Structure 1
């Protein structure tokens, strides 16, 4: 694990370079540009964070937290605020103890997300990683709206050497889930990962489809541990947040998978989503390779964001 982890951290540092330019450099300029901590100092800081896709609520929470810490510790010099700000950001994004419980239980994991965000790829990568951990994994191609999604997932399943349940394009997603759940139970599968649709422009249909899928799982496999992850494209910034809000209206979301964080300046959205929605970011993707999707670690993320040695 260690080597994989350090490798991912250096990739994170690299992948977040544009975000770092937009956030950390702006913040460091404020720290070195102000000689005292006053309202102007906080205002500049606030503006920098809002511009960096952290959003108003998140920024307000971080700044209020910072003000308290500055008072408590009787800090006078702005440069001493840097670590306090970093700590405030980390506090916005901590995961609960049971964030990854589904990995140790018999579980059904649904991944939802609009086309083009890397949803099917995320299902494939997670399947591969969990298989490597010695789990018995199965994938279900329940995004039957697109033939490409079915083909793509089939390819990932072969690559990861896991079973796949699929039907032809246009078939009923709930029927695919029914087959998958039945097969998962009879083959004693640990984790069933389902690639499901995400057509937000037609929310009513999506809602009905998800309800139907959930009914099937509840009826056929009530003992399964449930996890519902929304996959969002990090490059879309505030738009990703808006999507998360909409998906949260149609499904009981337990976590976020944030993809394509490499090469975007909008990485601050990772902090915003968690803070604005109270839904944790559980995985982040910073590249194409199977292990470029990793569990989210708030401390690593913020530390990578504020790395000084370029």
Structure 2
């Protein structure tokens, strides 16, 4: 499927704007850890930040405020990738086609850069520049902590690590639960954040994000089987080598792809109440299952 030019243009604009925002917000920091932080937040799809911008736009939130929130979620995502790549986790050498942070620097710098990006995200959200309403800022901080912490992304990562040494492979239901936490919560939060910024009911956007998150993970599993490292920008085939159960290993390539397409349709159905204003969100749901990296 060829994605519409307006979507690709919007993505490129968002990537540039989010990078500029991150560069500005990180500019006061110096030293090796700060350098590693800036390295870690460079590049990438910016899907999470893009979701903040697009959902906030549904409610006419000023783009400058949304960009700060987009920068915060991208910082959290970057921190999670730094730690995920460490030898004690996935032990990866490549990320976005470049050496991982612990390979370019060392493990201690990588841990500290990840820690600093995590706290930086909450500092940005708590700053009055994000919104004049302290209650709204507190809501952003609370919900991101819930999405990324011990009941969210971290829990999913812990379940993923435990699965590698489990006596029996995970069931489809267990994989779904794992991925709703590990991947899904940080794709759900940007949609919640857009609604928080717009002081709107998040229910339709959360329904959209739940399906989007699973579709995204199935696409990742497919890329691990069918993609190549040069295009994907990281090692492929690692799940199969580790004997890890995935959506693809259980469903097979064709059924997994069909399941992802069904999830996309369901996600698009959830945002029908927003009409044509959600056209880009509908297109981004298709993007997550047609991307090649």
Q: What TM-score results when the alignment is normalised by the length of structure 2?
A: 0.28
Larger radius of gyration: 1
Which structure is richer in relative contact order (CA contacts within 8 A, separation 6 or more)? 1
Higher helix fraction: Structure 1 or Structure 2? 2
Q: What TM-score results when the alignment is normalised by the length of structure 1?
A: 0.26
Higher strand fraction: Structure 1 or Structure 2? 1
